Amino acid sequence: MPPPFRIAAIGELLWDLLPTGPQLGGAPANFASMSAHLAALESPRTSDEIFLISRVGNDALGRQAVEQFTARSINLDHISIDTRYPTGTVTVALQPNGNPTYTIHENAAWDSIPHTPQLLTLAPTLAAVCFGTLAQRSNETRATLRRFVASTSLHCVRVFDVNLRDPYWSPESLRWGCSHATVLKMNHEEVPHLAAALDAPPQSRSPHTLAQFVLDTFPVELVAITRGAEGSLLVTLETIHQHPGIPVQVADSIGAGDAFTAAITRALLLHQPLPAIAEFANRWGAWVATQHGGMPSPIPTP
């Protein structure tokens, strides 16, 4: 049995307001939920700890979010309550192919995640942490996120999930993320935006060549690019692995990338080879795409 891991995600916890009804979501929250499921599937007696660091409002949606995450065996010691702003919500419209479009409402509780001494104590104990760009749209949460990530140990797997949501990102946030990550994850549509933000030379703007540029320029050790139905591309300094994807009937793609990211993180902690990492991540990402919302349940057994 592998040693217990402490894995954290920091950022937005919100409700996706879907045509079929509200679903709990937010990329860090989806990541934490899938990380907890993967740990439990590996061993029901796992002593792994999965942490979600976020903030909810003092309202019914906030209380429901906490209740649901408590049932998912996720440590909520670092979920704080905001008395000024409501729990975050996102209005989601689905295109015919299942791809979502988002209207992310501002002045949400997760825009004011406070930094605490407890976070400074937690950070150095982590085996992995996942962070993105959306939570950095506000000054307070951006400062908390960056201080927390910078306080992790040299051995921590630091996963930067690009996850661009217009207009809530900047070239500076992309550069900062690459400078502090050991794993960079993005989808194929985000490649040109990242290339421009990093001032990549013209010959380094395809998925393969941009990945190589990132590996040569930043402390990133693995670049993971999802390609929807066409699978994924994983690149290290030594190896390139392309996975063709797993054909499924897509319900919606919400959370599929987050499941992919959680699976990659766990496989890396277990020191799996690149082909095994790709297969594991693509299978979980594909399964979530067959479900509605970013946190489907129950999770199938292998």
Contact 135, 28 (CB under 8 A): yes
Q: Are strands 240-243 and 232-235 parallel, antiparallel or unpaired?
A: antiparallel
pLDDT for res 258: 96
Residues 6 or more apart whose Cβ sits within 8 Å of residue 90 = 14, 15, 16, 17, 25, 102, 103, 104, 105
Letter string b/e over residues 41-67, b meaning 16 or more CB atoms within 10 A of that residue's CB: eeeeebebbbbbbbbbbebebbeebbe
pLDDT for res 47: 66
CA distance 291 to 285: 10
Contact 223, 211 (CB under 8 A): yes
pLDDT for res 109: 98
pLDDT for res 189: 95
Best CA proximity match to 294, nearest among 48, 65, 70, 58: 65
Give me the CATH code for the 6-289 domain, please.
3.40.1190.20
pLDDT for res 233: 98
For the four alpha carbons of 203, 240, 250 and 263, in that order, the dihedral sign comes to negative
- The secondary structure element, H or E, covering residue 101 is strand 100-104
Taking phi over 0 as left and psi of -120 to 50 as alpha, with beta for the rest, 106 belongs to beta
Each domain of the chain, given as residue ranges in start order, spans 6-289
pTM: 0.94
Contact 69, 52 (CB under 8 A): yes
Which residue stretches of the chain have pLDDT < 50? Answer: none
